[in-house]
Structure 1
């Protein structure tokens, strides 16, 4: 995908975008309406913002509107809408922390997609850093120390989160296949398709307070607009293993927000998990060597 200007540090931009993206759970909880309607307004506000953005900066003129790109972007929009609905529903059925940890199966699925679709080679060390990061997320979520998290609704929430992760892998694969089209244009198409798709199921008759409207607008403009553009601009510039590792920034920030905003203090085990996430992220991106591991590829 074409992005301008050329990014000097796409890894840093992706990390910052993921940190901001991690606040979406707070926005969803504070908006206080059903997941499907929340995602509809996220798409609607996001599409409107991105249309105005692209219009203002002239991106709609010669923006790479080829049938191939439009089909890939539209398909990604359908998957992204489904991803958001499933994830937002899982926030209610489990918790922001639990859904976040399960969603981090996404990097594993992405590595598999990278190997199957793009034939990218993955080193043993990269896989080791991913396993270490996932262990950190498992500890930081607190779910391992909470046996009370059982029951049909909790299990259903986990299933929805896994489905959301699989959908997001599909989005990444489709977005990486788009050529000669700006990230802003791609996201505008995705948000528009998502809004049209979800309009058939959204509840337009419920009363929404001014406060909830503000949170919904924030999800659309910030998370579907600015954040997604920043993220998508980095995807073609980074190898799949690095994208996978950087995605662990998301759960680390989400868990910390759960602590600060909703008074869910972190235990020593959770703090150790956050430390593992930071260690794995730094190790993978700075090329640190792990003792006893050769740089073999798969």
Structure 2
């Protein structure tokens, strides 16, 4: 039987999740400044994340874990393949659109999880949930920029939006697979995923890395995948759904601010409306908001 490891003092959960979202919100800038192709960037993200997560899991006594089964490792590996391919598509979207646009559209992924549950797991959905889902997808249409001036939207831009939707879809699949591993420490699952990413991408990753890129790559692996994930996993069980729903949107807000302040990419009015729709629809879905369809009768 594996000995229990004493838990070290941690940040208050609200602060921990807020800090995690703040860190992840800068990933677009790190990927852009690294100046490498998406596959090479994600490969090194996996390398440095695996080093960090492996060290963390061994230090905290989560590894070696004799309770790991072949089935669990297979599911984690498959989830890892989906996750790293999602990262590749996500980073490719940055270069084809903007950091802000890609990040906003990517936040449709919780609704892909719901759709998978409806289509394949026969989960039931209410009229109000369908309404919030419709609102979110309408928000994606607006946030994608397709309603902007036609001259500002190119085929490359649409390709970037398409890749971002693929990234969100793959992330949703990885999320569903991870849900099958409730008995496994999430840090261990993430370690398996990034290790799978190394094996998957090593034949395709570039070998000539400019010295100036290494700091950004280490940051993406250690900060955005290692530290941020550990903070999230420590915070989620200790927070209510409303708190998680609200704090999660620190991520796109930081990305939008960075894209505007550093790269001079301001959101158009329709993209702003799309962002608001996605935020409201996500919160409405997660918190079970019900819109009165008719006035209630007084007793």
CA distance in structure 2 between the aligned counterparts of 1:118 and 1:60, rounded to whole angstroms: 32
Residue from 30, 35, 42 that aligns with 1:32:
35
Aligned to 1:208: 210
Q: Pick closer, same or farther for the CA change 1:207–1:191 going to 2, 3 Å.
A: closer
> Which aligned pairs between 1:178-217 and structure 2 lie closer than 5 A?
178-204=181-207, 206-210=208-212, 212-217=213-218
Structure 2: distance between partners of 1:279 and 1:136: 10
CA RMSD, aligned part only?
Answer: 3.7
* CA offset digits 1:131-169 (Å, max 9, x no partner): 334444544554522423544433333332232222112
5+ residue gaps, structure 1: none
Cα gap change, 1:113 to 1:23, in 2 (>3 Å): same
Q: Does residue 93 of structure 2 align to residue 100 of structure 1?
A: no
**Contact 2:105–2:144, Cα closer than 8 Å, also in 1:** no
Aligned residues: 288
* Residue 70 (structure 2) pairs with residue 67 (structure 1): yes
For 1:110 and 1:249, how far apart are their aligned partners in 2?
Answer: 21
Paired position in structure 2 for 1:255: 256
SS at match of 2:174: helix
1:175-202: CA deviation from partner (whole Å, max 9, x where unpaired): 0011321011111111111012111111
Task: Give, in angstroms, the shift of residue 289 of structure 1.
Answer: 2.8
What residue ranges of structure 2 are gaps of 5+ in the alignment? 1-5
- The residue aligned with 1:218 is 219
Change (3 A) 1:69 1:215: same
Compute the TM-score of the two structures, normalised by the length of structure 2: 0.79
Shift of residue 115, structure 1, vs aligned partner: 2.0
